[in-house]
Amino acid sequence: MSRTAFAVSEESAPRELTRLRDAIDRVDEVIVRLLNQRARYAVEAGEVKGILSLPIYVPEREKEVLTNVESWSDGPLAPSAVRRLFERIIDESRRVEREAAERGTR
pLDDT 10s digit of each residue in the chain, 106 long?
445 567 888 889 999 999 999 999 999 999 999 999 999 999 999 999 999 999 999 999 999 999 999 999 999 999 999 999 999 999 999 999 999 988 866 5
What residues have CB less than 8 Å from 66, skipping those under 6 apart? 83, 86, 87, 90
Global pTM reads 0.82
Question: From CA 103, how far away is CA 88, in angstroms rounded?
Answer: 23
Q: Where are the domains of the chain?
A: 13-104
Query: What CATH code would you report for 13-104?
Result: 1.20.59.10
Q: Is 77 left (phi over 0), alpha (psi -120 to 50) or beta?
A: beta
Neighbours of 69 (CB within 10 A): 17
79 preceded by a cis bond (ω within 30 of 0): no
